[in-house]
Amino acid sequence: MTDKITVAGVSVDTRHWIGGERVASAGTFTDVSPIDGSVIGEIARGTATEAAAAVAAAKAAFPAWAATSRAERARLLHAVADGVEKRIEELAIVETTDNGALLRSHRRGVMPRVAHNFRFFADWLLTLEHEDFDTRGHTNHVDWDPAGPSVLITPWNAPLMLSTWKIAPALAAGNTVVLKPAEWTPLTASLLADITAEAGLPAGVLNIVQGYGSEIGDALTSDPGVRRISFTGSVPTAKRISASAAANLTPLSLELGGKSPLLVFADADLDLAVDLAVEQYDNAGQVCLAATRILVEEPIAEEFTRRFTQKAAGIVQGDPRDEATDIGPNIHPRQLEKIDGFVQRAIAAGARAVIGGHRKDGQYYAPTLLTDVAQDSEIVQEEVFGPVLTLQTFTTEDEAVGLANDTRFGLAATVATGDKERAGRVTAQLVAGTVWVNCFFVRDLQAPFGGSRHSGVGREGGNWSFDFYCDLKNTVTAPKGWKDHG
């Protein structure tokens, strides 16, 4: 295998990044672009050997990094952000080639957010404190101590942004990191390794091992030296990771699947509600937070469906490198098969495709809206992770809440209503980590993020990230007992 490949004019190293050096493997796996099915290159395929080496490098680097001052850690994270900003165009085109998401979104939103992730947690670190408090004359002082090497396992739908959402707070906290990027989208993680090296991040503080989770996952998550594991992905994989981590009582943060509802009440701004619903096709439906279950109050259901169909007809699906494109391909033939399987089984069970319901050429799936679906049906209960929405109706507020909460998930929910009091009543009853009212996908890194039920364990963001990546220590000091050394 060659050590480097060229992707849209950008040189990308195909090897792992371990202990500040590039490390090859005996085997490789093939990285394929979902845009046209072309082979991008052969990527180093990690084994338990490379995984163990990466964890060992993180362990070795941890004492010095943990002892590094907050100010210096923050400075280095800002230097990484500077490097990201200098290479936004390169990162954008490489990630679009690798995962098929829109180039314009990568340029204008996603890659700038990558830089922001580093800047936010660098700045937050410098303000992290808890006011001392008194207990019967004794002083309590809270510290956030670095916990240790952290294993971060990240998904393919927003590879670099979601990786740095974990990397940045882990490094800011004083932990060292082993990143395992998704095997379908490894390329921008490799570019990030170059950026961190150029920024001066010490060797071993960030390590990247590429490959299949089935081959290297257990070696990463079962090592007793690993003190934190953060994973974004599927529920079955999370269960395997949890079992692996249990032997060492390694704390976990899990952000998992979703089957989120969009509740549209008759008093809502209907055009806004339709816009919110059509927005759920973003990134070809490959968004964990997507409100894929549209629940519409009965009196407006017909008009909502008419306007939705009209709005969705204007979606431009095609090459994500084209500025005019609204949604691109799905990530992999296996995922496309999964999406179509869900849809065809639903139709066979009596669902009606108002729009879509079929594949298109290549790895593209037509934006789909299914009606006449039962609440207990597979298509309503299970995450599809593609451009597939269902529409159900309700007649009362209580029924709407009941339908919204009636899945095993609880990641997010969206409510469209013109009644502020109703919004308060409904959001108070929804089981979700994030609820949007008359908006969607407004996220602030200060806010807690995570899911309820099978949508996850724990919260990250702001102080919650540091609470997870650190060992909190309370020191209680008596007012007396000091000797005079004067």
Judge if 317 and 218 occupy the same domain: no
Tens-place pLDDT, residues 141-185: 999 999 999 999 999 999 999 999 999 999 999 999 999 999 999
Q: Residue 442 domain-assigned?
A: no
Judge if 15 and 129 occupy the same domain: yes
Q: What is the CATH number of the domain that holds 133?
A: 3.40.605.10
Judge if 409 and 312 occupy the same domain: yes
User: Rounded to the nearest 5°, which phi and psi values hold at 325?
Assistant: -75, 140
Judge if 249 and 344 occupy the same domain: no
Q: Which helix (H) or strand (E) holds 293?
A: strand 293-297
Measure the CA–CA gap between 420 and 443, rounded to whole angstroms.
Answer: 21
Q: Extract the residue ranges of the chain whose pLDDT is less than 50.
A: none
| 186, 31 Cβ separation under 8 angstroms | yes
Q: What is the CATH number of the domain that holds 312?
A: 3.40.309.10
Judge if 225 and 271 occupy the same domain: no
Beta bridge partners of 353: 370
Q: Residue 422 domain-assigned?
A: yes
Judge if 277 and 159 occupy the same domain: no
Of 235, 335, 234, which is closest to residue 32 (Cα–Cα)? 335
User: Which structure tokens are listed for 443?
Assistant: 């996220």
User: Which structure tokens are listed for 373?
Assistant: 């679906």
Residue 317, pLDDT score: 97
Q: Residue 391 domain-assigned?
A: yes
User: Which structure tokens are listed for 370?
Assistant: 């299914």
Q: Residue 483 domain-assigned?
A: no
Q: Residue 304 domain-assigned?
A: yes
What pTM did the predictor assign?
A: 0.96
Of 388, 351, 382, 344, which is closest to residue 367 (Cα–Cα)? 388
What is the secondary structure of 176-205 as a DSSP string? -EEEE--TTS-HHHHHHHHHHHHHTPPTTS
Measure the CA–CA gap between 186 and 163, rounded to whole angstroms.
Answer: 11
Q: Residue 19: give the domain boundaries.
A: 4-256+451-474
**Count of structural domains, the chain:** 2
Q: Residue 86 domain-assigned?
A: yes
| 387, 368 Cβ separation under 8 angstroms | yes
Judge if 460 and 426 occupy the same domain: no
Q: Residue 315 domain-assigned?
A: yes
Residue 260, pLDDT score: 98
Judge if 292 and 356 occupy the same domain: yes
288 catalytically annotated: yes
Judge if 175 and 324 occupy the same domain: no
Judge if 284 and 311 occupy the same domain: yes
Residue 482, pLDDT score: 86
Judge if 76 and 119 occupy the same domain: yes
Name the catalytic one among 50, 95, 183, 288: 288
Name the catalytic one among 255, 297, 383, 460: 255
Measure the CA–CA gap between 337 and 352, rounded to whole angstroms.
Answer: 19
Judge if 182 and 57 occupy the same domain: yes
Q: Residue 167 domain-assigned?
A: yes
Residue 486, pLDDT score: 63
255 catalytically annotated: yes
